[in-house]
Structure 1
Amino acid sequence: MAERKRILSSHSKEIVYNVSTFFESEIQQPTATPVKAFTERTAEATLVSEATVRRIRREKNEKGRLFSPERQKVRGPYKPVDDFDKCAIRQKIHEFYTVRRQLPTIDRLYESLKCDINFPGSKSLLLKIVKELGFKWKRSQTKRKVLIEKDVIVEKRIQYLHRIKDYREKDMNLVYIDETWIDTAYTAKKCWQHEDECGVLEPVSRGQRLIIVHGGGKLGFVPNALLIYKAKSCTGDYHHEMNGENFKKWFTEKLLSNLPEKSVIIMDNASYHSVQFDKCPTTNTKKADIQAWLRLHEIQFDNKLLRPQLLA
């Protein structure tokens, strides 16, 4: 069986190189009468092969120094992480923000997950999973490290998810509605470019802006419910181009009349989606307007009451 190749460190290589240099200097002396070549004598003195001696000398001459070989990292057996563990990691990060009020560093997450779910991997694996979940460790845009959601918002989201689940179990047709916009002269903002090929050129003018309103779900877009009209302005937020009157007209004439049976409409909280025709006074309402609203609804009150008392 062939002898296994020896792995030499940079220090060992240095010794071999110095020995070979010494024997080489002896050969160059005019009085010396060497019997063997200096590479062969070096191999015998250092117990390495002649090829190794030549390789070490070549490395020293070409690179100016000797290097230790790179060691292969010994990896342990891979321990898979399922979707349950990934969900637990995401919830743990949220817990650090909302409950503990601490920054969820990898060290803190690792120690907590080891105790809670007996996380099977290492810190490097945890870091990889956190990145796969979409988290990025970057500078905060404001003085606050995080934006903590109010409990009432979290509760509303939970209610929404429960209702959606109930509708799906009842085999209801979920229809999502929304608005967006597009410029008639729209071009891609990024493209493959080269020194000889500039790619797509962005036009000087964006052209006419179009507002698009539509609704759809798993059955596709609602037939005949598409609404496209020209916007008055090509700048700013497109939401100001839609108002409660236009939305109500589209909602009743184009959407409701074309919906199939057992449909549920889902929309966001845009102001024109929930216009109040008889809006209740708020803290910004003038005292005289509050009194007028109370009289309109035949609610008795004392004229000496202050505005907070009238609102109550």
Structure 2
Amino acid sequence: MSSNNRGKVIRGDARAVVYKVIQYFEEEKKSKKYLPKSHSNLRAALATGLSHSTISKIRKEGKLAERSQTEIKTPSKGNRGRNNTRAPIDIVILCKIREVIASLYDIHQLPTTAKIRERVYQEINVKLSQTTLRRTLKHKLGFRFVQCSQNRKALLESDNIKAWRVKYLRQIKNNDALKGNKWLVIYLGETFIHVPCQKRIKGKKNILKKCFIIHAGSEEGFLKGAEYFYTSDRQEIASSDYLNYVKDVLIPNLPENCIIVIDNSSCHNFELNNAPTSVDSKDSIKKWMVDNYIPFEEEWTKVEMILHIQKNLPKKTYALDELLSKNGHEVIRLPPYNYDLNPIERIWVIVKDKLNKLSTDLDINNVEEFVMKAINSVTVQEWKEQLNIVKTTEKKYWLREVLREDEFEQFFMTLGTNGDVDFLSENSSSDESMQEIEYLDESFDESCF
């Protein structure tokens, strides 16, 4: 390998490593203490500030480059972390994290990242890094760290999400109370898989297509005829495509008087009668305000009108809800981040597991066939099992947030939360400082739900 690097620009990160090496040798010179040559990897790690494993890896890459008379290359994004043993964050892990947080609050302990990681590892044998857990708590579960008194932090959800969840639970509870006259609850959901456009060719990078699957199901299993499969270059399902699915596929296969449970995905949220914005003309804004019975003064500027509209927005109406309502069905929307209340999310895990067992060589030509085989192999019993898990979760939420509301309110008051939101700055010292509070026992009465 050529050692002539004259004229080559050394980038900032490489210059920083070189400077660390210089500092290391200067320190060796001052102390007159040298590690033996047999410890070359350790010396390199100390000199560069890199880990011992990274040094070993670079050494192997360097020897390979010398033999092939090439340069050491930067690893591609696809190869980074190839040996990472951490599992991807799927629905099972998300539900387990939420379950662990709830169980800690049930015994009046503050959930910390250390406790959550330990419990998740003990119960489902999944290792989560602290950074991954914090990112998951914020972006996928909607939690935040709030500063409390005595240098403690509480992991909390927003009041909007909690209120939304109680409203949802009350709607489901009221329907269950009808017993023999209750409406059938249909859970609507979608998922996707990536498949190559053609069979794998050695040495060539495959172009992946996104295959979307939409389906619905209940305690009676998947709804017959309600499946919809298509491939697209889009990253998400378009609202127009979803509306067409509901109109042409779902509704014709629905029995009378159903409750349709959907999540908060963007494809479900196509709004009717959108409020105007500053890009609209002043005349169109005036017309919209008249049509929606919002009073205004003629001398107002456009900015004043927009601000007034924002303070007096009418209730949102969604095209999906209107379409199903006209056909005699009711739509109930799941609270954000509550994957644990949607059994079809768990069913998708089962479908993908069956799909992996059916074929390890999927491509664009055979994927639909294997997907349908996997879906058709899901039994009514498997649906009931997942629905029972969801029903148990609903009862726990109802107990915690409705029946034991005063108890938990008192518990949170003792924490002295001041409302300062801090998503990512929780550290190990705050984990250690969080004190446990004595548990006030209360029996669980399922008849209350």
TM-score by length of 1: 0.46
Structure number with greater Rg is 1
Structure with the largest fraction of helix: 2
Larger RCO (CA under 8 A, 6+ residues apart): 2
TM-score, length of structure 2 as denominator length: 0.33
